Amino acid sequence: MNKTALYITAASTVSHQPTFGNAGFSAALGPVGADHALISPDYKAYIEAGLLRRMSKILRMSVACSKECIAQAGIGQPDAIVVGTGLGCLQDTEKFLNTSLTVEGLLPPTSFIQSTHNTMAGQISLSIGNHGYNMTHTQNTLSFEHALLDASLLLHEGDRNVLVGAADEHIDILDDITGQLAFETGAALTSGASFFILSSENTAYTMAELADVHVVGGVAGIQEETDAFLGRNGLATKDVDLVLFAGNPVDGALKNVPYLALSGVYATASAFALHYAADLLQADRGVRNVLICNALRESNLGLTLLRTVEA
């Protein structure tokens, strides 16, 4: 990447934490508690009632965050919509799978229609009447980083504002599956959606600069990749004020925080970490840069570097 500077000018997250419509949330955020639940905003303020009834959790979260971002950034239409999702629309997928295996005769199509991975991006374009580039990336734990990289390409190609985000939803069977497959998740499985406006323009709304994003599938050496990434951005690990990590901490950085404890576990939780970082960079002037080191799945590495923007 490393071409023209890119800025985050809006951010919105629905999660199991008080993130939505709550700028400065990073200051007082503790780990996801034992009694956690998704904290839903008043969706009726963002989505027409008839549509809302048919929408699954992941769709509601995504559309509300998107509309909130567009309002925050003070833009009319984004030039493009780019979404990442690890597992897609699980609620509707399971519902249609169940229907198709148990119901004879004519099946109701709504859950099939809403089962495709690009339903979020499609519903966002529908709800705001957007005719731009519309893309959905699904590379399990790196889905969000891939979306962010695509958004960066678009801005380098001349777009000015891209709506980029990620969403994944929890359904009950996931707890059973992770147990049966003996996955050690380390924190509770949760749902979450985070959307951003990524802009080529530094505006009054700018929260942080996106300095770089890098993805490595089938990674051999996480430490080497991280050092090389920081080096390309003129940094060494000792220069990093804060690392938000999933997997292992980055040795040598001033501070390491495991972000899954804050967000809970879902494939695109690194999008939560990005919002947390952008929020923190605005609130705490002592933090100048944040590295998000996503090795939620150890064979996949996502690196995202955020910098403070000088006033």
Smallest separation, CB 80 to other proteins (Å)? 9
Minimal distance in Å, beta carbon 167 to other proteins? Answer: 13
Compute the least distance from the CB of residue 215 to other proteins, in Å: 6
Of 68-76, 209-217, 228-236, 287-295, which part binds other proteins (CB under 8 A)?
A: 209-217
Please tell me the chain's helix, strand, coil percentages from 3-state DSSP, rounded to the nearest 5: 35, 20, 40
Which class for 146: exposed (0-12), middle (13-18), buried (19 or more C-beta within 10 A)? buried
The residues, any chain, with a CB within 8 Å of residue 309's CB and separated by 6 or more, are 7, 202, 206, 207, 208, 209
Q: How far is CA 220 from CA 86, 289, 301, in A?
A: 22, 26, 10
For residue 137, state whether it binds other proteins (rule: CB under 8 A): yes
* CB distance 204 to 300 below 8 Å: no
* Encoded amino acid at 156, one letter: H
Identify the DSSP state of 222: H
CB of 286 to other proteins, least distance (A): 34
Segment interacting with other proteins (CB under 8 A) among 15-23, 114-122, 187-195, 241-249: 114-122
Binding residues for other proteins restricted to 30-49, rule: CB under 8 A:
none
Instruction: Look up tokens 């990289």; give the residue.
Output: 149
Segment interacting with other proteins (CB under 8 A) among 30-38, 121-129, 191-199, 274-282: 121-129
Q: For residue 284, what are its two tokens?
A: 């705490």
- Unique residue bearing structure tokens 């996502």: 302
Q: What distance in Å separates the CA atoms of residue 288 and residue 310, rounded to the nearest whole number?
A: 9
Contact 58, 114 (CB under 8 A): no
Report the residue from 27, 28, 34, 220 that binds other proteins according to the rule CB under 8 A: 220
What amino acid occupies position 173?
Answer: I
Residues binding other proteins: what is the number (CB under 8 A)?
61
Task: Report the residue from 109, 186, 231, 249 that binds other proteins according to the rule CB under 8 A.
Answer: 109
How many whole angstroms separate alpha carbon 221 and alpha carbon 90? 32
Q: Select from 91, 138, 263, 270 the one that contacts other proteins (CB under 8 A).
A: 138
Token pair for 267: 């494939």
Q: Is there binding between residue 76 and other proteins (CB under 8 A)?
A: no
- Is there binding between residue 87 and other proteins (CB under 8 A)? yes
By rule CB under 8 A, what string of x and - marks binding of each residue 141-160 to other proteins?
-xx--x--xx--x--xx---
Q: Is 136 in the site for other proteins (CB under 8 A)?
A: yes
Under the rule (CB under 8 A), what is the footprint of other proteins? 1, 81, 86-88, 94, 96-102, 106-109, 112-119, 121-123, 125-126, 129-140, 142-143, 146, 149-150, 153, 156-157, 177, 180-181, 215-220, 267, 299
